[in-house]
């Protein structure tokens, strides 16, 4: 069976404020280059959704498609461009992806058909109201969802079609599958898989890269 990595990388990076985020470099390597390099050894092909008008940087072993206006639309376009049996969807904005996590995820998807990397929540949770503590939220059983996420392709195609038909929008793909009532396996993730979203995250990434790249 064939596996494709689908990398949505078409966002504009508004919160980071450094232009399209996938091209932002951490210790001399772009977020996109880091994500492609982490996934390439595990899959038969790598597809990347890029902002309109941009080209794949030289040296990346991947195929590019034009992204859409939302992450969901970018993933839908990537999905339409592969016939692999299994797809592994990963944000370009999560550049530190340990190989062991990919291995565990692929094992899980072979069983369940859908799986996501996620981290059990460690902090105390509270619902705030007007800047005040309104009500504590028990964290038992709560996970923070990360990527990569893996699916039998036809399953994710169906989930996207349903979401499109019902005008449902989501910031991840596992949620679209789960709302069909299908099982999604939670695979323990890794703190290093944080998404580079704000300037503070980029500073954290620079610090982590010194260890990661050594
Ligand atoms: N993404 C995409 N197409 C879009 C929007 C987002 O492919 N239309 C991708 C981003 O490139 C990123 C991932 O989805 O790899 C997660 O999105 P996010 O962290 O929100 O990135 P941006 O949308 O670029 O950032 P912001 O929301 O701050 O503008
Ligand atoms: Mg965004």
Name the percent of the chain in helix, strand, coil, to the closest 5: 35, 25, 40
- For ligand 1, mutation pick of 5, 9, 11, 67 (most atoms within 8 Å of CB): 11
Q: Closest residue (by CA) to atom 17 of ligand 1? A: 11
> With a 6 A CB cut-off, is 112 part of the ligand 1 pocket?
no
Which atom of ligand 1 lies closest to the CA of 195?
19
pLDDT of residue 186: 98
For the chain, list residues with pLDDT below 70.
Answer: none
Q: Mind listing the pLDDT tens digit for each residue in 166-180?
A: 999 998 999 999 999
pLDDT of residue 124: 97
Q: How far is the CA of 146 from the centre of ligand 1 (A)?
A: 14
This prediction has a pTM of: 0.97
Q: Mind listing the pLDDT tens digit for each residue in 90-124?
A: 999 999 999 999 999 999 999 999 999 999 999 99
Is the reported ipTM for this assembly greater than 0.90? yes
Instruction: Spell out the SS3 assignment of 115-184.
Output: EEEEEECCCCEEEEECCEEEEEECCCCCEEEEEEEEEEHHHHHHHHHHHHHCCCCCCCCHHHHHCCCCCC
């Amino acid at each position: 069976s064939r596996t494709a990595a689908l990398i949505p990388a078409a966002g504009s990076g508004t919160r980071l404020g450094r232009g399209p985020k996938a091209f932002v470099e951490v210790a001399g390597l772009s977020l996109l280059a880091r994500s492609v390099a982490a996934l390439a050894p595990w899959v038969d092909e790598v597809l990347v959704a890029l902002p309109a008008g941009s080209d794949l940087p030289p040296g990346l072993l991947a195929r590019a498609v034009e992204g859409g206006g939302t992450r969901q639309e970018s993933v839908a376009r990537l999905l339409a461009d592969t016939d692999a049996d299994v797809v592994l969807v990963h944000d370009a904005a999560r550049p530190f992806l340990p190989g062991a996590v990919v291995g565990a995820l692929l094992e899980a998807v072979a069983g369940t058909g859908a799986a996501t990397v996620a981290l059990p929540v460690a902090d105390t949770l509270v619902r705030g109201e007007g800047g005040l503590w309104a009500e504590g939220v028990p964290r038992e059983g709560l996970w923070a969802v990360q990527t990569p996420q893996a699916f039998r392709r036809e399953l994710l195609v169906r989930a996207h079609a349903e979401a499109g038909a019902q005008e449902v929008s989501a910031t991840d793909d596992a949620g679209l599958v789960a709302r069909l009532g299908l099982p999604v396996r939670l695979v323990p993730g890794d703190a290093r898989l944080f998404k580079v979203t704000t300037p503070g995250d980029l500073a954290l990434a620079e610090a982590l890269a010194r260890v990661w790249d050594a």
